[in-house]
Chains A and B, each alone.
Chain A
Amino acid sequence: MAGLYKSEYKNPVVNWIDTRLPIFTMMGREYGTFPTPKNFNYFWNFGALAMITLAIMLATGIFLAMNYQPNTQMAFDSVERIMRDVNYGWLMRYVHMNGASMFFAVVYIHIFRGLYYGSYKYPRELLWMIGVVLLLLMMATAFMGYVLPWGQMSYWAATVITNLFSALPWVGHAVVTWLWGGFSVENPTLNRFYSLHYLLPFLIVGVAFLHVWALHITGSNNPLGIEPKGPQDTLPFHPYYTIKDSVGLCVYLIVFAILVFFAPNYLGHPDNYIPANPLATPAEIVPEWYFLPYYAILRSVPNKLGGVTLMFGSLLVLFVLPWLDTSPVRSCRFRPIYRQVIWLLVVAVIVLGFVGSHRPEGIWVVLGRVCTAYYFLHFLVILPVLGKLEKPLPLPESISRPVLPGGGGPIPSAATAKPMEKP
C-alpha cells in the first residue's frame, strides 16, 4: 500500500477518492490555502479574468461549431443562419466575437501589469516566456477565427496575413502556396483554418496550465516586487483572493455585457457583412483593434522583409525581456526613472494603434516610424542601460512592514537578508 496517499478529508467519499487520487488535497493546496502576497491590487485580477474569458470562448466556440459550415460556398450564409435562425445564435456569436476583443484587452492589461511590476524577473522568467507563447497562440487563433465568417475583411485579412510569409527570401512563395493549399486563399485554406482554430484553444488551455503551474512554483509577484518573508506577508488564496477576483469578475462581466448587448458591432467592420469577393479588395482594409499596433509597425518600414521582421521582432523581443532589463528591482514603485519611461512605451503603443487604423499618409507615416523606433529603443537600449544608471528607492524590508505597526511581527532572521538579492 506504499502508493496510497493519506488523505485528511473527513467526508468518507471525498477521503476514498483523495486517497487514490489526491485531487482534493491538490486543489485545496493550490487554490484554498495557497499562500498569496497580501498586498495585491486589482491589476492581479486579470490572470483569473483571462482564464474565465478562455472558458467563455471555448463554450461559445464549441456551440458555434455545431452550426458553422467551413466551406467557401456556405460559410457566410451559415454564420447569417446562426444570427437569424438558430436559437440564441446571435448571443453565441456576439459573445464569441466580442469575447475575442475582451480577451485581448484583459491580456494586454495583464502584460502591462507584468511590465510595470517587473513580474518577468528572476525567478519568473520562464513563467513570463510561457506567457509570451500564450500571446502568440492567442493571436494565431484570433486571426484564423476572424477568417471563418468569410466576409470581405475575413478574406482579405487571410490574404494579407498569409502573404507576410512571401517576404521570406527564396522560399517565400512556396511557403505561401503551402499555407493556402492552393494558388490563392480558397476552400482548402478555409478548411485548415477552421481545423486549427478549433485545435489551438485546447493548446492554449494546455500552455495556460503550464503558466499556472510555473506561477505556483515561484509564487505570485506583488505591487512591491519583494518576496514574502513569511506567513505574516501572505493570505490564503481562498477566501481572500477568490472574493477579490469575484468582485473584479462582476465589473468585467458588466463591461462585457454592455458591449455584447448594446454595441456588438462597435469593434467590428461593416465590410465583413459583405460576402468574400476574391476579385475586389475593400477600400479601407484594417485589422481588428488588437492587431493595429503590429500592423502599424509592419507598415512603418518601406521594405517588405524589413517590415515583417520588425513586426515579428516586436513580439519576439518580449521573450528576452527578462535579460534585457538589468535592474534588480522589480516594481516600478521603486524605480523613479523607469516609472516614467514605461508610460512613454504605453503612449507609443497606443499611438501605433491609431497609426494602424489610418492610411499610411502624411503625419501618420512619421508618427508610425517614431513610435516604432521608440518601441525598440525602449526594450533594446533603455531597459539595459537604465538598469545600470538608475538609483532605485529603498525597498521596504517586508510586505507587512510599511503598513502594519510593528511590521506584522518579527521577521524570521533567515529572511532578513537583503531584499531582491540575486543568487
Chain B
Amino acid sequence: MAEVAAAQTVAQHGQPPIVSKRDFLKLLTGSGAIIGTGALVWPFIDYMNPSKDVLALSSVEVDLTPIPAGQGITVSWRGKPVFVRHRTPEEVKKSQDTRVSDLLDPAPDSARVKPGHAPWVVVIGICTHLGCIPLGNKPTDPRGDYGGWFCPCHGSQYDTAGRVRRGPAPANLELPTYAFESDTKVKIG
C-alpha cells in the first residue's frame, strides 16, 4: 500500500516523497506503543524502590559528647555502618600536612570534614574494595600504618580522614550526607 501511495505521489509531483503517510502512521503507532509500555512498566520498577517507611528511617542523630578524642563509634544508618571518629589535635595536624599528591585518591583533609569541625570525621564504614568493615575505631584495634582504619579482609589501609593510603581498595571511604545540628550533635542522612 505504501508503494501504491508512493507511486501516485511520484506521478503527481515527479519526485519520490521523503516521508509517506504510512511511515507517519507507523511512527505514530510505534511511539504511542513505546510511551504506553513505558507508562505501564514504570510503576512496576518504582514499586521495587525504597518505600516511604524505609525512607522515613533514613536519618539518625548522633550525640558526640561521649566520644573521647582518639576514638570513634559505629552507628547504623540505612543498614550500613557509619564511623564517627573524634581525632586528636596531632592526628588532625598530621592529616592536614599530608601532601595531596601522595594520595591514591587525592582529597585534601578539608574536603573530608565540615568547616569548623576538623576533629570530627564521619565516613561510611565500608571498605571500597569488597565491602568489609575496616577496624580502627577502638585504640586497641589494628589501625594500619597511617593511624586510621585497617581492613582485615585484604589489608587496605586508611588514614584518620578515611582516605585510602594502601590498596587494594581503589577509593577513599565514602562520606554520608550529614550536618552538625550543634557542636555536640550531628544528623546523618
Q: Which residues of A contact B (CB under 8 A)?
A: 59, 63, 66-67, 81, 84-89, 91-92
Q: A87-B52, A88-B43 are in contact. List 16 more A-B contacts (CB 8 A).
A: A59-B44, A63-B48, A66-B47, A66-B48, A67-B51, A84-B52, A85-B51, A85-B54, A86-B47, A87-B43, A88-B47, A89-B47, A89-B51, A91-B43, A92-B43, A92-B47
Kindly state the separation between the CA atoms of A81 and B52 in the bound complex, as whole angstroms: 9
Residue of A nearest to B44 (CB): A63
B53 contacts A81, CB within 8 Å?
yes
B residues in contact with A59, CB < 8 Å = 44
Q: How far is the CB of A69 from chain B (nearest CB, A)?
A: 13
**Is B3 interfacial (CB-CB < 8 Å)?**
no
Residue of B nearest to A84 (CB): B52
A residues in contact with B44, CB < 8 Å = 59, 63, 88
B residues in contact with A81, CB < 8 Å = 51, 53
**Which size class do B's interface residues fall under?**
10 to 19
Chain B binding surface SS class: helix
**Is B49 interfacial (CB-CB < 8 Å)?**
yes
Interchain pairs with CB closer than 8 A, number:
32
Q: Interface centre among A67, A81, A86, A91, by most B CB within 10 Å?
A: A86
A residues in contact with B52, CB < 8 Å = 84-87
Residue of B nearest to A64 (CB): B47
9 contacts across the A-B interface (CB closer than 8 A): A66-B47, A84-B52, A85-B51, A85-B54, A86-B52, A87-B47, A87-B51, A88-B44, A91-B43
B residues in contact with A88, CB < 8 Å = 43-44, 46-47
B residues in contact with A84, CB < 8 Å = 52
A residues in contact with B53, CB < 8 Å = 81, 85
Q: How far is the CB of A261 from chain B (nearest CB, A)?
A: 13
Q: How far is the CB of A71 from chain B (nearest CB, A)?
A: 18
Residue of B nearest to A81 (CB): B53
A residues in contact with B51, CB < 8 Å = 67, 81, 85-87, 89
Which 4 A-B pairs give the minimum distances between C-beta atoms?
A88-B43, A85-B52, A85-B53, A86-B51
Q: How far is the CB of B57 from chain A (nearest CB, A)?
A: 11
Residue of A nearest to B42 (CB): A88
Q: Interface centre among B47, B49, B52, B53, by most A CB within 10 Å?
A: B47
A residues in contact with B48, CB < 8 Å = 63, 66
Kindly state the separation between the CA atoms of A203 and B154 in the bound complex, as whole angstroms: 49
Kindly state the separation between the CA atoms of A194 and B125 in the bound complex, as whole angstroms: 40
Residue of A nearest to B49 (CB): A87
B residues in contact with A91, CB < 8 Å = 43
Q: Which of B111-148 contact A (CB under 8 A)?
A: none
Kindly state the separation between the CA atoms of A59 and B44 in the bound complex, as whole angstroms: 9
Q: Interface centre among B43, B46, B49, by most A CB within 10 Å?
A: B43
Contact flags B17-60 to A (C-beta < 8 A → 1, else 0): 00000000000000000000000000110111101111000000
Q: How far is the CB of A330 from chain B (nearest CB, A)?
A: 37
Q: How far is the CB of B138 from chain A (nearest CB, A)?
A: 38
B residues in contact with A92, CB < 8 Å = 43, 47
Residue of A nearest to B52 (CB): A85
Q: How far is the CB of B35 from chain A (nearest CB, A)?
A: 15
Q: How far is the CB of A81 from chain B (nearest CB, A)?
A: 6
Residue of B nearest to A88 (CB): B43
Residue of A nearest to B53 (CB): A85
Q: How far is the CB of B56 from chain A (nearest CB, A)?
A: 8
Q: How far is the CB of A64 from chain B (nearest CB, A)?
A: 9
Q: How far is the CB of A38 from chain B (nearest CB, A)?
A: 21
Q: How far is the CB of A67 from chain B (nearest CB, A)?
A: 8
Q: How far is the CB of A419 from chain B (nearest CB, A)?
A: 37
Residue of B nearest to A95 (CB): B43
Kindly state the separation between the CA atoms of A63 and B54 in the bound complex, as whole angstroms: 17
B residues in contact with A87, CB < 8 Å = 43, 46-47, 49, 51-52
A residues in contact with B54, CB < 8 Å = 85
B residues in contact with A63, CB < 8 Å = 44, 47-48
B residues in contact with A67, CB < 8 Å = 51
Kindly state the separation between the CA atoms of A209 and B46 in the bound complex, as whole angstroms: 31
Contact flags B70-103 to A (C-beta < 8 A → 1, else 0): 0000000000000000000000000000000000
Kindly state the separation between the CA atoms of A81 and B46 in the bound complex, as whole angstroms: 15
Q: How far is the CB of B46 from chain A (nearest CB, A)?
A: 4
Q: How far is the CB of B30 from chain A (nearest CB, A)?
A: 14
Residue of B nearest to A67 (CB): B51
Kindly state the separation between the CA atoms of A222 and B77 in the bound complex, as whole angstroms: 64
Residue of B nearest to A92 (CB): B47
Kindly state the separation between the CA atoms of A66 and B49 in the bound complex, as whole angstroms: 12
A residues in contact with B43, CB < 8 Å = 87-88, 91-92
Residue of B nearest to A87 (CB): B46
A residues in contact with B47, CB < 8 Å = 63, 66, 86-89, 92
Residue of A nearest to B55 (CB): A85
Kindly state the separation between the CA atoms of A66 and B54 in the bound complex, as whole angstroms: 14
Kindly state the separation between the CA atoms of A74 and B51 in the bound complex, as whole angstroms: 17
Kindly state the separation between the CA atoms of A89 and B48 in the bound complex, as whole angstroms: 10
B residues in contact with A66, CB < 8 Å = 47-48
Kindly state the separation between the CA atoms of A88 and B47 in the bound complex, as whole angstroms: 6
Q: How far is the CB of A24 from chain B (nearest CB, A)?
A: 21
